[in-house]
DNA sequence: CTGTTAGCGCGTTCAA
DNA sequence: TTGAACGCGCTAACAG
């Protein structure tokens, strides 16, 4: 393996000079920089990031923590997008990233996890999809042994950055669009009067915000609102819609999966009411109707989160980042069925 | 950070002794071993795997190469299972793993990739879902710069291990079950006579094997067989079924997603024929009918692949591993709709 | 602006 | 059986 020493010799300079060129340090003549780069090319040299990490005590390594298992099926897509966004971005920024699923951490105390991550040279954690039930992970975060970026959960400290969309506003927007569209479609006074909101899991951080958004939308539109908790489960949402949805004009759901469940219930009851979801997953294409949904763009969220991780490791303070969201109506359903 | 030096001092032994204890070397008294372990506990010492890797030139690091993007939606679940299985197993075995998506490698030549992986300290690659079109990756594999485990694609060399199910037999089994069940259900002579097989992508390594299995099944059952290529695309399978499926008694598909497409086509045509898929994804629950499918258990495949990676790194020769498969009939559909 | 040197934390000879 | 010493490839002062 060709090392920095070989490059130095080949270029006729000192090792440290090569290092400086590699790391874009100032105070290097353009001429020597050229010589060094020449040598690097000729020798086909590739720096050993392991050695660099050891020497600098600065691995730039982030751990992507997520739990794709707890949730029901069909959120795989969300986590896949998270991973794609995070890993792409990490590679782009020259950081290296390891993926850690909560399931791999089962049975570990917070300290065990800390030690495990530390042994892996992890410097920063990025946590996706945290819930209030994840005691250990929350403890881990609050220990502040690592820089941390938390996606979609509130933590405000100097060492912690949070990244999320504005769930309150997003839920407001999609609800207003769904209900409002149907108000316009019908004669005034014959629009939707009653709305069923199938919220997420009470313990989930996003649930409170989204519910708030839904309430505000209901007020602004002057419709009466019932709220039930579907725990992000398709089956539960289906049952709720089955029992409670009959006499409601519109059903708003805090996730696409629940929207699918609700839609299935309505289909079975052989009635049609507008339903809207939240995440914008393509699985929505498998249901039989058009539906509004919030396009969350998990890829972008993850990649932003990783950029924020770098920011933290570069010594900046933690902060709160709010990502934009879009509204989307699924247009391609007739292609599918 | 507490290092091996501290442990040595605390235990009153030399650094090298601690190292030997850590790595289970022979020739260490039970007594000193105890002393060392005691010190490790007390100091809460955790070995630095970065330093270990640098020193030993043996990182034990595997790169998980996969391409979850190229395929149509809804295969996320498959890759999620791959990752879960692989990462769980890697952690269990004390190896560390990085995940690399093909999309991150775009525009790179095989040598670039080699250098990238080498700079990351990668010692072994595990490649999932390779297709014949992935020229660069195949070149990368054949270069044999790394130990390699290939899942579901044939490579037979000393440095390469392949892991897969017996696609020929699996396709045979599920086809026979689907067709055979329907033969039994009907009066003799009125069973299925004609079968449409919607194969995968011609360039995909598994396609040939599965097609062979289908042909054998058709022969054994004495039914006439038409073969079309759906390229693992739901839409294409749907079109094929729409055009060609009307007058066939049974449709066998080389993937669940295509089975869903075919089923949708039949639904639209308002006719019912048995359809079967292949992978055993839960998405199958979103279609309106029962369906046979091969349970591939991607988790196990991935974890086996990682174990094989370790085997290679431990100096063993490459080999071929055939995993078992199961047949599954989706039973839970009535829960969903 | 460039070169010398001392570690980073650990594995691994080789003496003792 | 144990320990001292060297080096892995690189970064980071510091000296020139």
Section B55-80 average pLDDT? 82
Integer-rounded Cα radius of gyration of chain B: 25
Q: Is residue A39 part of a domain?
A: no
Q: Is residue B9 part of a domain?
A: no
Residue B279 has pLDDT above 70, yes or no: yes
Number of other CB atoms surrounding residue A334 within 10 Å: 7
> Nearest residue (Cα to C1') for D7?
B55
Q: State whether A119 and B336 contact (CB < 8 Å).
A: no
Of residues A330 and B319, more confidence is placed in: B319
Residue B252's contacts (CB-CB under 8 Å, 6 or more residues apart) are B171, B174, B175, B178, B179, B195, B196, B197, B198, B214, B275, B276
Measured between CB atoms, which of B103, B104, B118 is closest to A46? B118
Cβ B323 vs Cβ B304: under 8 Å: yes
Measured between CB atoms, which of B59, B91, B103 is closest to A50? B59
**Cβ contacts of A49 on chain B, cutoff 8 Å:** 119-121
What's the CA A263/C1' C11 distance, rounded, in angstroms?
A: 62
Given pLDDT bands bounded at 50, 70 and 90, which one contains residue A288? low
Q: How far is CA A279 from CA A282, A291, B70, B131, in A?
A: 9, 11, 22, 31
CA nearest neighbour of A200 among A298, A96, A72: A72
Residue B299's contacts (CB-CB under 8 Å, 6 or more residues apart) are B81, B82, B84, B85, B88
Q: State whether A286 and B282 contact (CB < 8 Å).
A: no
Q: Is residue B306 part of a domain?
A: no
The β-bridge relationship of strands B326-329 and B292-295 is antiparallel
Residue A323 bridge partners (DSSP): A165
pLDDT at B330: 61
Given pLDDT bands bounded at 50, 70 and 90, which one contains residue B329? confident
Cβ A280 vs Cβ A81: under 8 Å: no
Q: What is the DSSP letter of B204?
A: B
CA nearest neighbour of B322 among B302, B301, B298: B301
The β-bridge relationship of strands B147-151 and B194-199 is unpaired
Given pLDDT bands bounded at 50, 70 and 90, which one contains residue A289? low
Q: Is residue A275 part of a domain?
A: yes
pLDDT at B189: 56
What's the CA gap between B54 and B109, in Å, rounded?
27
Q: Tell me, yes or no, if A267 comes closer than 8 A to chain B by beta carbon.
A: yes
Write down the H helix ranges in chain A. Answer: 4-11, 15-22, 30-43, 49-56, 76-92, 110-119, 135-143, 167-185, 205-221, 234-244, 256-269, 298-313, 333-336
Among left, alpha and beta (phi > 0; psi -120 to 50; other), residue B129 is left
CA nearest neighbour of B252 among B232, B277, B270, B272: B277
Q: Is residue A44 part of a domain?
A: no
Q: State whether A87 and B99 contact (CB < 8 Å).
A: yes
Q: Is residue A267 part of a domain?
A: yes
**Domain total of chain A:** 1
What is the tens place of the pLDDT at every residue in A118-140?
999 999 999 998 988 899 999 99
Cβ B313 vs Cβ B290: under 8 Å: no
Residue B210's contacts (CB-CB under 8 Å, 6 or more residues apart) are B167, B168, B170, B171, B199, B200, B254, B278
Section A254-262 average pLDDT? 90
Q: State whether A335 and B235 contact (CB < 8 Å).
A: yes
Q: State whether A83 and B99 contact (CB < 8 Å).
A: yes
Residue that the structure tokens 């050695």 belong to: A51
Strands (E), chain B: 61-66, 96-101, 124-128, 147-151, 160-165, 194-199, 224-229, 250-253, 275-276, 292-295, 320-323, 326-329
Given pLDDT bands bounded at 50, 70 and 90, which one contains residue B334? very low
Measured between CB atoms, which of A69, A118, A120 is closest to B96? A120
Torsions phi, psi for B293 (to 5 deg): -160, 155
Task: Say whether B66 sits in a helix, a strand or coil.
Answer: strand
Tokens of B155: 């490579």
Q: Is residue B89 part of a domain?
A: no
pLDDT at A330: 61
pLDDT at B186: 55
What's the CA gap between A52 and A48, in Å, rounded?
6
CB contacts < 8 A, A to B, total 126
Residue B291 has pLDDT above 80, yes or no: no
Closest approach of B118 to chain A, Cα-based (Å): 8
What's the CA A33/C1' C6 distance, rounded, in angstroms?
A: 25
Cβ A293 vs Cβ A326: under 8 Å: no
Measured between CB atoms, which of B49, B264, B282 is closest to A121? B49
pLDDT at B335: 31
pLDDT at B333: 37
B19 touches strand C (CB under 7 A): yes
What's the CA gap between A53 and A179, in Å, rounded?
54
What's the CA gap between A258 and A210, in Å, rounded?
14
Residue B232: give its domain's CATH number: 3.40.50.2300
> ∠ CA(B105), CA(B108), CA(B110), 5° rounding?
100
Residues in B 39-98 whose C-beta is less than 7 A from nucleic strand C are: 47-48, 51-52, 54-56, 58
pLDDT at B74: 60
Residue B139 has pLDDT above 90, yes or no: yes
pTM flag (> 0.85):
yes
Residue A336 has pLDDT above 50, yes or no: no
Residue A183 has pLDDT above 90, yes or no: no
What is the tens place of the pLDDT at every residue in A16-31?
999 999 988 888 898 8
What's the CA gap between B299 and B322, in Å, rounded?
14
Q: State whether B283 and A100 contact (CB < 8 Å).
A: no
Please state which of the ranges A154-163, A323-332, B155-164 shows the lowest mean pLDDT.
Answer: A323-332
Given pLDDT bands bounded at 50, 70 and 90, which one contains residue B84? very high
Cβ A152 vs Cβ A232: under 8 Å: no
What's the CA gap between B22 and B47, in Å, rounded?
8
Residue A160 parent element (H or E): strand A160-165
What's the CA gap between A263 and A248, in Å, rounded?
13
**Cβ contacts of B283 on chain A, cutoff 8 Å:** 73-74, 283, 286
Q: What percent of chain B has pLDDT over 70?
A: 91
Residue B166 has pLDDT above 90, yes or no: yes
Domain that holds residue A248: 167-295
A34 touches strand C (CB under 7 A): no
pLDDT at A68: 84
Angle between helices A205-221 and A167-185 (to 10 degrees): 30
Q: How far is CA A238 from CA A132, A258, A261, A291, B103, in A?
A: 24, 7, 4, 16, 37
Instruction: Return residues 209-228 of B near A (CB < 8 Å).
Output: none
Q: Is A146 exposed, middle or buried (0-12, 13-18, 19+ CB in 10 A)?
A: buried
A119 touches strand C (CB under 7 A): no
- Taking the mean position of all CA atoms in its chain, how far away is CA A149? 11
Q: Tell me, yes or no, if B59 comes closer than 8 A to chain A by beta carbon.
A: yes
Residue B116 has pLDDT above 70, yes or no: yes
What's the CA gap between A287 and A272, in Å, rounded?
13
Measured between CB atoms, which of A99, A260, A285 is closest to B99? A99
Nearest chain A alpha carbon to B53: A50
Q: State whether B121 and A48 contact (CB < 8 Å).
A: yes
pLDDT at B281: 83
pLDDT at B298: 92
> ∠ CA(B224), CA(B178), CA(B164), 5° rounding?
100
Q: Is residue A193 part of a domain?
A: yes
Q: Tell me, yes or no, if B74 comes closer than 8 A to chain A by beta carbon.
A: yes
Section B295-303 average pLDDT? 92
Nearest chain A alpha carbon to B286: A286
Nearest chain B alpha carbon to A66: B84
Instruction: Return residues 2-21 of B near A (CB < 8 Å).
Output: none
Length of chain B: 337
């Amino acid at each position: 393996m060709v090392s920095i020493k070989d490059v130095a010799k080949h270029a006729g300079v000192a090792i440290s000079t090569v290092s400086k060129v590699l790391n874009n340090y100032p105070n290097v003549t353009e001429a020597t920089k050229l010589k060094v780069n020449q040598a690097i090319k000729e020798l086909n040299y590739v720096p050993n990031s392991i050695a660099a990490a050891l020497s600098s005590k600065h691995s730039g390594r982030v751990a992507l923590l997520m739990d794709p298992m707890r949730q029901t099926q069909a959120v795989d897509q969300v986590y896949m997008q998270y991973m794609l966004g995070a890993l792409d971005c990490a590679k782009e920024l020259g950081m290296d990233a390891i993926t850690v699923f909560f399931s791999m951490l089962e049975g570990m105390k917070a300290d065990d996890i800390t030690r495990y991550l530390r042994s892996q040279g992890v410097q920063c954690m990025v946590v996706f999809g945290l819930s209030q039930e994840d005691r250990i992970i929350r403890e881990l975060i609050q220990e502040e042994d690592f820089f941390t970026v938390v996606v979609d959960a509130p933590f405000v400290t100097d060492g912690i950055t949070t990244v999320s969309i504005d769930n309150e506003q997003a839920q407001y927007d999609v609800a207003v669009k769904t209900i409002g569209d149907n108000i316009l479609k019908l004669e005034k006074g014959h629009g939707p009067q009653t709305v069923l909101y199938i919220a997420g899991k009470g313990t989930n951080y996003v649930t409170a915000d989204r519910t708030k958004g839904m309430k505000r939308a209901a007020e602004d539109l002057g419709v009466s609102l019932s709220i039930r908790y579907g725990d992000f489960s398709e089956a539960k949402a289906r049952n709720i819609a089955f029992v409670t949805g009959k006499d409601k004009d519109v059903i708003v759901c805090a996730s696409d999966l629940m929207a699918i469940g609700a839609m299935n219930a309505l289909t079975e009851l052989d009635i049609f009411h507008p339903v809207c979801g939240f995440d914008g997953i393509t699985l929505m294409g498998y249901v039989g109707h058009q539906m509004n949904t919030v396009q969350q763009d998990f890829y972008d969220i993850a990649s932003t989160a990783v950029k924020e991780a770098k920011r933290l490791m570069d010594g900046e303070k933690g902060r709160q980042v709010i990502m934009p969201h879009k509204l989307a109506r699924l247009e391609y359903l007739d292609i599918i069925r």
